[in-house]
Amino acid sequence: MSQQRMQLWAAEADIDEDVDLNLAIGSYGQSDRYDDVIQQPQIDEATLLAMQQHMVQQNAFAQIPDPVKAFIVHFHQAVLDNNLAEITVAYESGWNKYTEKFYSKTEWPEAEVIAPLVNDDPIFLILYRELYYRHVYSRLQPDIDDRFHSYENSCELFNYLLNSDGPVQLELPEQWLWDIIDEFIYQYQVFCTWRSKVRSKTDDELGMLAEGGPVWSSYSVLNVLYSLMQKSKINDYIIAQRQGKSPEEIAEIVGEYGQRPLYRQLGYFSIIGLLRVHVLLGDFTLALKVMDSIELNQKSPFTRVTACHVTTYYYVGFCYIMIRRYPDAIRTFVTILNFIMRMKQYHTRSYQYDQISKTADRMYALFAMCHALSPSRLDDNIANIAKERFSEQYAKMSRGSQDAGAAFEELFLYACPNYLIPPDPADPTSGAEAAPQLDATHRHLSLFLADVAAQSQVPTLRSFLKLYTSLGAKKLANFLDADEEEMVQEMMVVKQASRSISRVPGSEHLTAGGLLDGETITTSDLNFVIAENMVHITESTVGRRYAGWFIKNTERTQKILDDLKALPLPASRSHQGQGQQQRLPQAPDSSQVKGGGSERKVAWGGVKTAA
């Protein structure tokens, strides 16, 4: 624009060419004016842009419904006040309510737009952005900018938490802290998946990826999780707690960061996060090793957040399957599935309920697979539900027939986590061949199926062995129409299949071993030995269990008795009733029935009172 002006001015000067002075004066005046005019458009441009932006923001701002504005202000105030209860309410119900109401199909307003409401508080804006991106990832399709920005935001958040001078004074509800870690890993996961589908990308996106460098690289994700763990010294804290040290000693061990609940919880959830990341990258032993200090029981702190609880058990169980420790896997799944069944009634309102149900379903599938591979007398309740849900696959799997492989494959693909190929830091477009993502899953699947195939004869052999106490090898080979030597080798496989490393409940306190520890135990009732060419078989059986039944019924009768005693007596029988009552307490066990009879003398026709 200024160019045009000058030309025009030059043109006018051409016209006024005779008098220099005129020109000077004229041009001075003109230049003044023109200067002004020249400068003004510059100012105008900048301010115009600013004004335009401001107007856009104002517009967007104006479009925010009032309840949402009020909510944001309220939320911000709660965060500033460190009012944990208010923050929890705002986070859990408020955010979801407004999402459903106003933003179910679109994004929440950008952080810049609502900034004036919160006085540009950077911390709150970081937290707000975290929620904003979570919403984008879950309800909408994030594009490459979203992915890069969400990564930067996460980095800012963790930077703020880890690299400020001293621990920050923020307090956030546990559910939110878990969700932060969970979401962080989830975004990393989808980024890796998305990256590997290079063919569908535009050149721009490829360019951005190439320059992206450490965005969502495995090292940075692991770095964050490990740093959180180290800063909060969470492992030391757990060990100290277990050893029963006093609060002062613990405070000294964990330092100033570890004392704040925010950091402690973040450290704790990072351990679970690491468990998950290692499983996704295919390193199962490391995953279990990371969980060394955490005890898997109902009293552990991670049970406070249900989603975390379920996730932990799912990944631990899956690790056990991949390292062939089926009894441990079964035990893990039974524990958590029982818990979920009991909790179902209380949790239907939570928006995570769907996710938990889905995970539970996958765990039923995994349980069915383990049970087919290593049958044992176990919790019938869970076994029944699993068999019902996956009845045809289960039937195929436990028969060890030809289509068992297909059934295993189907369930495995349904239930396994979405494996990852870690992005190569040097070459971001690597791993771009035909669906390497699928390759990772298939690689693990083929390993699992090879194991399954090796054990495919086991159920058949076991069913034969059940029928005999001793059997010649030749005879058994005839039954199976197999070569004797081949069959003997298969018997070794059966023997191998019925032994497994498992955590023995008694010894864990002594060795304080982690989840990888264990001893070899037999998992099957059926046991056999080959002496030259003779197979000797024994079976262990369970004696009749009567104690539970008797105790239950005794307690029930006691309860009935107590209720009866508490009933108001009919007036005419007051003397008799009281007299008889006093004689009852002497031998309640043996005289339960008789005691009842004496009260209802008339009804039972004459059973006299106990002595």
Partner 1 sequence: MASTWIKPSTRPTTIDDLVNGVDRYNPTNLSILEDYLYHQIRSEEYDCLANLAILKLYQFNPDIYNPDIVINILIKALAASPLPDFNLCISLLDERTAPSHLDEPDPLPSTLPQLKDLQNLLYRCRFPAFWETYLSDEFENLRDNYTVEVTGFENSIRQVAIRAVTATFTRISSERLGSYLNLEGDGLVSYVKSLGWEIDSSTGTIIVPPNPDNQIEATVVQEQIKLPQLTKLISHAVKA
Of residues 423-482, which lie at the interface with partner 1 (CB under 8 A)? Answer: 424-426, 430-431, 433, 436, 439-440, 443-444, 447, 450-451, 454
Q: Which stretch binds partner 1 (CB under 8 A): 22-30, 300-308, 358-366, 552-560?
A: 552-560
Binder of partner 1 out of 241, 527, 580, 609 (CB under 8 A): 527
The DSSP symbol for 434 reads S
**Residue located via tokens 């009919």:** 570
Binder of partner 1 out of 543, 568, 605, 606 (CB under 8 A): 543
Site string for partner 1, 202-221 (x = CB under 8 A): ----------------xx--
Binder of partner 1 out of 84, 113, 323, 343 (CB under 8 A): 323
- Least Å from the CB of residue 272 to partner 1: 18
Binder of partner 1 out of 27, 77, 83, 230 (CB under 8 A): 230
Show contacts with partner 1 in window 67-106 (CB under 8 A): none
* Cβ atoms of 441 and 416 closer than 8 Å: yes
Q: Which is nearer to partner 1, 14 or 562 (CB)?
A: 562
Site string for partner 1, 273-292 (x = CB under 8 A): --------xxxxxx--x---
Show contacts with partner 1 in window 4-23 (CB under 8 A): none
Q: Which is nearer to partner 1, 174 or 328 (CB)?
A: 328
Q: Which is nearer to partner 1, 251 or 432 (CB)?
A: 432
Best CA proximity match to 382, nearest among 337, 340, 412:
337
Q: Is 499 in the site for partner 1 (CB under 8 A)?
A: yes
Distance CA 577, CA 309 (A): 55
Best CA proximity match to 468, nearest among 526, 532, 528, 537:
537
Q: Residue 608 — left, alpha, or beta (φ > 0 → left; ψ -120 to 50 → alpha)?
A: beta
Show contacts with partner 1 in window 331-390 (CB under 8 A): none
Q: Which is nearer to partner 1, 200 or 541 (CB)?
A: 541
Which pair of tokens denotes residue 460? 């058949």
Q: Which stretch binds partner 1 (CB under 8 A): 44-52, 305-313, 342-350, 488-496?
A: 488-496
- Least Å from the CB of residue 582 to partner 1: 11
245 three-state secondary structure: coil
Q: Is 517 in the site for partner 1 (CB under 8 A)?
A: yes
Show contacts with partner 1 in window 568-607 (CB under 8 A): 584-585, 588-589
Q: Is 545 in the site for partner 1 (CB under 8 A)?
A: yes
Q: Is 528 in the site for partner 1 (CB under 8 A)?
A: yes
Per DSSP bridges, beta strands 499-502 and 519-522 are antiparallel
Q: Which is nearer to partner 1, 304 or 443 (CB)?
A: 443
Query: Does an H or E element contain 538, and which?
Result: strand 534-539
* Cβ atoms of 291 and 515 closer than 8 Å: yes
Which pair of tokens denotes residue 63? 């479009």
Distance CA 178, CA 308 (A): 7
How many CB atoms are located within 10 Å of the residue 564 CB? 13
Give the C-alpha distances (Å, rounded to integers) separating 76 from 91, 99, 114, 265, 336: 11, 17, 11, 22, 37
- Least Å from the CB of residue 5 to partner 1: 58
* 466 backbone dihedrals φ, ψ, rounded to 5°: -60, -25
Q: Which stretch binds partner 1 (CB under 8 A): 11-19, 73-81, 142-150, 416-424?
A: 416-424
For 78-104, b where at least 16 C-beta lie within 10 A, e where not — what string?
bbeeeeeebbbebbbebbeebbeeebe
Distance CA 340, CA 357 (A): 8
Angle at 355 between CA 351 and CA 361, to 5 degrees: 140
Binder of partner 1 out of 2, 4, 53, 554 (CB under 8 A): 554
- Least Å from the CB of residue 285 to partner 1: 6
Per DSSP bridges, beta strands 499-502 and 470-472 are unpaired
Q: Is 501 in the site for partner 1 (CB under 8 A)?
A: yes
* Cβ atoms of 126 and 153 closer than 8 Å: yes
- Least Å from the CB of residue 293 to partner 1: 12
410 three-state secondary structure: helix
Q: Is 536 in the site for partner 1 (CB under 8 A)?
A: yes
- Least Å from the CB of residue 602 to partner 1: 24
Q: Is 511 in the site for partner 1 (CB under 8 A)?
A: yes
- Least Å from the CB of residue 407 to partner 1: 20
Q: Which is nearer to partner 1, 175 or 189 (CB)?
A: 189
